[in-house]
Structure 1
Amino acid sequence: MASSLTKSSAPVNGPDKTFFGHPRGLATLFMTEMWERFSYYGMRALLPLYLVAEEGLALGATTAVAIYSVYVATVYLLAMPGGWFGDRVWGARKTTAVAAGIIMTGHLLLALPLNAIFYVGLLFVAVGSGLLKANISTMVGHLYDGPDDPRRDGGFTLFYMGINMGAFAAPLIIGTIGQTVSWHLGFGLAAVGMGLGLLQFLLGTRHLAPESSIVPKPLSPLERAATLRKAMVWLLVAVVFYGIVTLTGSFTLKWATVPLLVLGLVVPVSVLVRIKRDKELTATEQSKVSGYVWFFVAAAIFWMIYDQGGSTLSLFADEHVDNQVFGWEFPVSWFQSVNPVLIMALAPVFATIWLSLARKDKEPSTIAKFAGGLALVGISFFVFMLPLVASGDGKVSPWWLVLIYFCQTVGELMLSPVGLSVTTKMAPAKYASQMMGVWFLAVTAGDAVTGLVAEAGVNLDRTGFVALEAALAVLAGFAVYMYRGKVKQLMGDVR
């Protein structure tokens, strides 16, 4: 993962060129990320609905959930190598520009009414998103004078608002066009959004820090040759293996999805094991890594349930939710705008609450916040059981979904920002950059579990399995809180 979130850099703009009091380059990155999230969340809102639609790919619900999970897991899986690519090969600025081009190409492929290249388009979007995700955040860090710059936290808050603005608008615009006019035109609008983001990024690069175009730790000629050789070997193995599977007539979609989902579990575990076994780490660092495992597992369980808001809940809404308000019908994809609008509304409230409690020395600990986040995401699925039971062959009120998303959003605000913070605090100095990638891998692990369960043919919108997931999250939250003393001991001086 790129390390520049903690690097020092002098501000690149004078007082006459600011963006709400921040360096002018923040506007460029804000708009780039907003348009990238617009394209990403718009396509994601359409994806599960298109996969099951008769005029789409007409797949079963379990297969659709598996594909959706593979896609999301792959995006976050590639965030770590994406950061590595920016650090070692092209630098953050060039990597971001190339990534945006790859994403736009992927959306254009999805816009073509050719089922044969649909999955190629998804792969392009996933690869591009993974490359961009780490590096654009890196460049935000470059704009400030080190971690102690008083504007730094506010800058990342503004950047985060850009993410949610794009995520909020996308289902309303892309979802409406995709569901009411043409699925492929909707995917095409996502390409337009990314194209606008790329254009303004290229026009605004002069406002970015010079450091963003520097490769922090470039590969030596020997390292470059070795890396290329290993990549070619693995590519050759994959081509030969899948060539044999295809020629023998044995290929099905599972030959692609299952290996990717297994990889989504193996990679996070192997990275944590590799860090834990490093003999160069001090006893204190080893202890913190052991403590971090608790947060990683908790986050994986959280995202396993949370990310089903775009798959299991979306497909349930398509079949069983009365998407009308006062007689006016709206596209099902609009439900995907509920979370970002709640984030924008509630994030300042939570920031104020934590600050107020901190002044009174009553702010909940990191462990308590994690436990609360897990409990709330579990409660959201206990709530989900009520419309599941009530729906039968009929329709239920859309307010059930709003309530579910509300519980999940409050849980997210308790767990996600805190998880990012505790990751930076508990990371061994040697792995300061990579540990942020490990945090993203918790999303990969959670979605990989969901995908593997779906691949096994389990209907994820059945009351028994929903209850099982809900109970798992609540019990995990309870376990984290009950063992808070042990975890605090492992965390050392981190609170």
Structure 2
Amino acid sequence: MASSPPKTTAEPPAGGATIFGHPRGLATLFLTEMWERFSYYGMRALLVLYLVSGGPDAAAGSQGGGLGMSAATATAIFSVYVSMVYLMAMPGGWFGDRVWGARKTVAVAGTVIMAGHICLALPGSAMFFVGLALVAIGSGLLKANISTMVGHLYKEGDVRRDAGFTIFYMGINLGAFAAPFGIGIVGEKVSWHLGFGLAAVGMALGLAQFLFFSRHLSPHSSLVPNPLTAAERRSVTVRTLAGVLVAVAFYGIVIAAGVYTLNWALVPIIAAGLVIPVAVLVRIRRDGELSDAEQKKMSAFIWFFVAAAIFWMIYDQGASTLSLFGDAHTEKNLFGWEMPTVLYQALNPLFIMLLAPVFASLWLALARRDREPTTIVKFSFGLFVVGLSFYVFLIPMGMVSGDEQVTMWWLVGIYLMHTVAELCLSPVGLSLTTKMAPKKYMSQMMGVFFLAVTAGDSVTGLLAVAGVDLNGAGVVALEATAAVAAAGAIYLYRNRVRALMGDVH
């Protein structure tokens, strides 16, 4: 998923260019994002496999030494983790805007992420969950600010701007593609904790070069655009401490009573992941300072938000439900080589790097002929394809029982469908958000769009916590139907939605 566009622009620093005619700072940010995504996607590829390792839902013959959880619990934890990464993007943006500035926030974020991976590399379930929380917090802080810093490198109207973001986006996918090879294989085949340790090394490399070459970044990245007043700082400190004390007291009572289970931690987080996105959307939509046109655009945006949440609910199961199925039920023999399960996670970034230029060229060619599909059509098509992918998933599911296996090419095809759907929906959604954002909330709306990921993954987490078998044919069919139905609804009501969108097409 692409990072958000910048919120401000500034005069780029002097000093020439070193990467395809772009400011030197682009190379710094490219490498920072590449190494951060390398560590993030490497750990993500291992996560559910490690959680079920040693338990009843682990694949026969797989490495032991994990936490031995059920597939349902592992999927719930994975979903909560991903949802928190995107939920933390909103306070991450707030810290960049009001407390530290983008550059300092990214430096702190990289340090927190590295510390999290170090905790994951240490034995013990307590350290594991501390590490998971740190990586989620750090990733949210970094994601909200690093693309803003890319924008700082270019003056308003600089024709290199879009190309610069394209180069930066390639860093995301390059890191994501390399991660299963550099981290995943070691973790799955040698040692889980060594794999997590390599993720820490990757983040350390990214952080080191960011700090060393930060002199090439725009001076504007060090500024705090809207610093807190002394009164606001006191208020935030008091509220934060009060919230921490209430949480500590509550969980202290639960633990002392001997009734604590993992669900006492998961359920409140899942609830927050569902309630906060709804509350944010309602607050913006009901803001009396918005013009009639802006309120109508927000009504249209809600359609796309709900559709995106359903999309991410299915898409992000590529690293949980699909990964567990691939580990237990696919024959991964590739020209005589037994392919590690984690390499399934390299397919999506590989397909993106191959297909993104094709889609860009296709939209441009169709636009020249005045036949480019509208945003609504692209969105509905992306939803339809991701729903169709889960209908396809039903076929290999129906072919296995017990320890039986099917060919790996079923999953390769499903991941390809996910990529096609993503290229129709995710970039379109990012662009649409910048066009439909009310002026008052221009800086916040990209974070609001990311909350669709939080909402979608929270639904998956809720189903898993409730004990629903996400590898069951009934649930997979239900999720597929929800996506296809949402695609149909958007398409059937496209004229109504288009009218709400006003001058945005």
Structure 2 match to 1:115: 125
Residue type of the partner of 1:93?
R
Q: Distance in 1 between matches of 2:14 and 2:356?
A: 28
Q: Distance in 1 between matches of 2:138 and 2:9?
A: 27
Structure 1 match to 2:100: 90
Structure 1 match to 2:211: 202
Structure 1 match to 2:260: 251
Q: Per the alignment, in what secondary structure is the counterpart of residue 99 of structure 2? A: helix
Residue type of the partner of 1:344?
M
Structure 2 match to 1:40: 40
Q: Distance in 2 between matches of 1:116 and 1:223?
A: 35
Structure 2 match to 1:361: 370
Structure 2 match to 1:11: 12
Structure 2 match to 1:443: 453
1:138-217 equivalent positions in 2, closer than 5 A: 138-146=148-156, 148-217=157-226
Equivalent pair of 1:372/1:477 in contact (CA under 8 Å): yes
Q: Distance in 2 between matches of 1:25 and 1:19?
A: 9
1:296-307 equivalent positions in 2, closer than 5 A: 296-307=305-316
Q: Per the alignment, in what secondary structure is the counterpart of residue 18 of structure 1? A: strand
Q: Per the alignment, in what secondary structure is the counterpart of residue 233 of structure 1? A: helix
The yes-or-no answer on 1:283 pairing with 2:284 is: no
Q: Distance in 2 between matches of 1:455 and 1:149?
A: 49
1:367-386 equivalent positions in 2, closer than 5 A: 367-386=376-395
User: Mind listing any 5+ residue stretches in structure 2 that lack a counterpart?
Assistant: 55-64
- Per-residue CA deviation, residues 165-221 of structure 1 (Å, 9 max, x unaligned), is 000000112111001110000000000000000000001101000000000000000
Equivalent pair of 1:78/1:127 in contact (CA under 8 Å): yes
Shift of 1:11: 2.4
Residue type of the partner of 1:183?
W
Q: Distance in 2 between matches of 1:241 and 1:451?
A: 23
Shift of 1:326: 2.1
Q: Per the alignment, in what secondary structure is the counterpart of residue 123 of structure 2? A: coil
Structure 2 match to 1:25: 25
Residue type of the partner of 1:264?
G
Q: Distance in 1 between matches of 2:126 and 2:275?
A: 29
Query: Cα RMSD between the aligned structures?
Result: 1.1
Residue type of the partner of 1:241?
F
**Structure 1 stretch displaced more, 196-205 or 3-12:** 3-12
Q: Distance in 2 between matches of 1:85 and 1:324?
A: 48
User: Which stretches of structure 1, 4 residues or longer, exceed 3 Å deviation after superposition?
Assistant: none
Equivalent pair of 2:98/2:224 in contact (CA under 8 Å): yes
TM-score (norm 1): 0.98
Structure 2 match to 1:130: 140
1:342-357 equivalent positions in 2, closer than 5 A: 342-357=351-366
Which residue, 275, 278, 289 being the options, matches 1:269? Answer: 278
The yes-or-no answer on 1:104 pairing with 2:105 is: no
- Per-residue CA deviation, residues 224-253 of structure 1 (Å, 9 max, x unaligned), is 000111111111110100010011011100
Shift of 1:3: 9.7
The yes-or-no answer on 1:406 pairing with 2:407 is: no
Shift of 1:4: 7.8
Equivalent pair of 1:3/1:433 in contact (CA under 8 Å): no
TM-score (norm 2): 0.96
- Per-residue CA deviation, residues 110-134 of structure 1 (Å, 9 max, x unaligned), is 0011222110000000000010001
- Going from structure 1 to structure 2, the CA distance change for 1:88 and 1:282 (only over 3 Å counts) comes to same
The yes-or-no answer on 1:429 pairing with 2:439 is: yes
Q: Distance in 1 between matches of 2:200 and 2:10?
A: 33
Q: Distance in 2 between matches of 1:277 and 1:31?
A: 41
Q: Distance in 2 between matches of 1:197 and 1:487?
A: 43
Q: Distance in 2 between matches of 1:152 and 1:324?
A: 44
Q: Distance in 1 between matches of 2:332 and 2:230?
A: 58
Residue type of the partner of 1:8?
T
Q: Distance in 1 between matches of 2:133 and 2:162?
A: 33
- Per-residue CA deviation, residues 8-35 of structure 1 (Å, 9 max, x unaligned), is 3122235x42311111100000000000
Shift of 1:6: 4.0
Q: Distance in 1 between matches of 2:314 and 2:128?
A: 26
Shift of 1:302: 0.2
Q: Distance in 2 between matches of 1:230 and 1:11?
A: 38
Residue type of the partner of 1:233?
A
Q: Per the alignment, in what secondary structure is the counterpart of residue 297 of structure 2? A: helix
Q: Distance in 2 between matches of 1:347 and 1:93?
A: 29
The yes-or-no answer on 1:69 pairing with 2:69 is: no
Shift of 1:492: 0.3
Equivalent pair of 1:4/1:142 in contact (CA under 8 Å): no
Residue type of the partner of 1:348?
P
Equivalent pair of 1:4/1:139 in contact (CA under 8 Å): no
Structure 1 match to 2:337: 328
Percent of counterpart pairs with the same letter?
Answer: 65
Residue type of the partner of 1:253?
L
Q: Distance in 2 between matches of 1:10 and 1:216?
A: 15
Q: Per the alignment, in what secondary structure is the counterpart of residue 493 of structure 1? A: coil
Q: Per the alignment, in what secondary structure is the counterpart of residue 90 of structure 1? A: coil
Q: Distance in 2 between matches of 1:301 and 1:403?
A: 20
Equivalent pair of 1:37/1:167 in contact (CA under 8 Å): yes
Q: Distance in 2 between matches of 1:284 and 1:330?
A: 54
Q: Distance in 1 between matches of 2:325 and 2:377?
A: 32
Q: Distance in 1 between matches of 2:240 and 2:7?
A: 30
Structure 2 match to 1:456: 466
Structure 2 match to 1:311: 320
Q: Distance in 2 between matches of 1:323 and 1:21?
A: 43
- Going from structure 1 to structure 2, the CA distance change for 1:314 and 1:293 (only over 3 Å counts) comes to same
Q: Distance in 2 between matches of 1:461 and 1:8?
A: 46
Residue type of the partner of 1:66?
A
Q: Per the alignment, in what secondary structure is the counterpart of residue 5 of structure 1? A: coil
